[in-house]
Amino acid sequence: MPMLTLAETMIHEVPRGKRKDDGEDVVLSVSPTDLNAATDRFIREEMLQPSFASGREIVHLDPATDPIPGLLRGVLENPDLLITNSAAMARHLHAMQPGGASAGIFLCSRAVSDGIDRVVLMKAEHSEGMRLQQVRDANGDVAFVAEHLDELILGQKAQVYKIALVWLDHADQLVGLMVDRQNGVGYAEYFLQYLGFNLVHQAEKLVLEFTKGMTTHINTSDYSPEKKGRYLSALAAVLQSPNPRLNPNAFIREFIDPEDRHTAAAALPIQVANLEFRKDTTLVHHLIGGLKLSTDNGVTISASASAIESGVLEVKDEEIVVHAPASGYKLGKAP
């Protein structure tokens, strides 16, 4: 995602939990918040931009049911609607969030990246604070005066709860990214329902399809044992790497030998071919970090993925060699 440039920004305060007739209501701003250069940079670089790599792609499919897509489209097509539409979006969030939801600020900003107009929605925590002022008496002795600050404060440790970045694509369809920093892969269903969008991809299923497809291809191909071990070791390493994105074609280019790339690419499941997606390993976490090598006579060897790379475990044409001293022996469950 290209870097964002923020334009007009509205900030409203959303109280804890759902709206109740006898409870707190949303505190609405009546004019855009003036962001100086330091504040603008902090919101973009510390709160928004780092989250987009793990964002889930979303799309609006049904134009008739939910209020938020229409409000978003209104801001994208007519910037003068930012004040009124952002207030309606804040109220709707308060009405839909679960009873245990934390209080926070609701930010709605017009933004531009890569020449495309976008709208940013963000809910983040705020906190109270104390200001300590040093004073000296006539004798030069120091004392501190404490002042309680009950205004909204955003800082380095502020928790970002929910983010959505929305724009109109070339077909005039609302698309975007959704980030749930509280729930991670178990994104809050209410936030997706609040937006009125659908997920474009189920990232955890795409990672599973890629893993199954490559594993089956490597095991059933006429590769040498050395290649099979090397390719599977690379697959395990990619799945456990800190990179939040997974690109199957990039994996083939980087880790598969040139003479094998065509057949490997052809073996990619159609669901993941030519895609790049968030690396959600929820459904394959039990496969990450290790390898199992099976022999024809019923022996299974389990090892870490790094064992082959380091040479501790060597796979030859007709044998598996372990270059490590035995540290102990015990009975164990059959593989």
User: Are the CB atoms for 106 and 78 separated by under 8 Å?
Assistant: no
Q: Is 85 exposed, middle or buried (0-12, 13-18, 19+ CB in 10 A)?
A: buried
- The whole-angstrom separation of Cα 268 and Cα 214 is 7
- Please report, for the chain, how many H helices and E strands are present, in that order: 9, 15
Residue 2: per-residue pLDDT:
62
Neighbouring C-alpha atoms within 13 Å toward the C-beta of 304? 7
Residue 152: per-residue pLDDT:
44
Q: What is the 3-state secondary structure (H, E, C) of 298-324?
A: CCEEEEEHHHHHHCCEEECCCCEEECC
pTM higher than the cut 0.75: no
User: Are the CB atoms for 251 and 261 separated by under 8 Å?
Assistant: no
Neighbouring C-alpha atoms within 13 Å toward the C-beta of 89? 32
Residue 186: per-residue pLDDT:
46
Residue 132: per-residue pLDDT:
59
Residue 151: per-residue pLDDT:
47
Mean pLDDT by 10 residues, the chain (335 residues): 84 77 74 86 84 82 81 96 96 85 87 93 71 71 58 53 91 90 58 86 85 91 86 88 91 95 92 86 74 63 63 64 59 53
Residue 185: per-residue pLDDT:
47
Q: What is the dihedral of CA 225, 230, 236, 238, to 10 degrees?
A: -150
